Amino acid sequence: MDALQNILVLDAGNTRVKIGAFSNGELIASDSVANEDIHTLLDLYPGFKMVVSSVRSDTETQAILETLEATLIHASANLPFASKYKSPTLGMDRLCNTMYLHSRAKTRYAACIDLGTCIKFDLYDKEVGYLGGSISPGINLRYKSLHDHTGKLPLLSKTHPEQLIGNTTEQSIESGVIRGIQYELDGFVNQYESQFPGLTFFVTGGDAAHFDIHSKNDIFAVENLTLIGIYELYLFNI
């Protein structure tokens, strides 16, 4: 295993492709790239080994692999921890987030809160392994659902509601969606803390900056948590 090899990690999520460049075992750059610009990575990162983790369809994933001549990290990869998840459909993003917890968390219990297209909680126990978690719609999915499944509600994108009691339709939606997510996060954090003593939280995802997560335990914001998890999983499998 050569951890010093230049490696470009791609996290092909539901809405964008995030990239992380690793050299000498360290993350030296991170960014995101549009689907139509993926081929430019070959020129931007010459000599880098391309590694892909994807939650997209098989067809979309295969197109990325062929464009970059990349290696796919998949759900059947070898893991350094046990998994208590009973479904065979655990997403690669959640698996790689758990890999980060396994590699970097210092406490027995650690949880990742990933605020992106979906809101995901994933719990790891150093003595048992991956325990599972939860999935719910993120900001844009909630806005889109309200718009698509009603006759007159507008499609919004605001991330900071002006007030608790909305006195317009727009303000009412904003309060319900954004404050609803905040209360959801508060509730989950409180329940996790009550059941798992000394739990450490790690927060990531594109929408993480829009919410305040309060915990009596340690909590760390890690912007590139999933990318680091992909990298760690790749190293474990070579």
The DSSP secondary-structure symbol of 83 reads B
Fold match between 7-72 and 75-238? yes
Q: What angle do CA 180, 176, 14 make, to 5 degrees?
A: 70
Domain 7-72: which topology?
A: Nucleotidyltransferase; domain 5 (3.30.420)
**For residues 112 and 121, what is the distance between their CA atoms, to the nearest angstrom?**
6
DSSP letters, 153-191, are PPP---SS-S-SS-SSHHHHHHIIIIIHHHHHHHHHHHH
**For residues 213 and 11, what is the distance between their CA atoms, to the nearest angstrom?**
25
Judged against a pLDDT cut of 70, whether residue 7 lies above it is answered with: yes
The DSSP secondary-structure symbol of 113 reads E
Q: State residue 228's pLDDT score.
A: 97
pLDDT tens, position by position, 71-124: 999 888 899 999 999 998 899 999 999 999 999 999 999 999 999 999 999 999
Active site residues: 93
pLDDT tens, position by position, 32-45: 999 899 999 999 99
Q: State residue 1's pLDDT score.
A: 46
List the domain boundaries for the chain. Answer: 7-72, 75-238
Domain 75-238: CATH class, spelled out: alpha beta
Instruction: Express as a percent the part of the chain with pLDDT over 70.
Output: 98
pLDDT tens, position by position, 155-182: 999 999 989 999 999 999 999 999 999 9
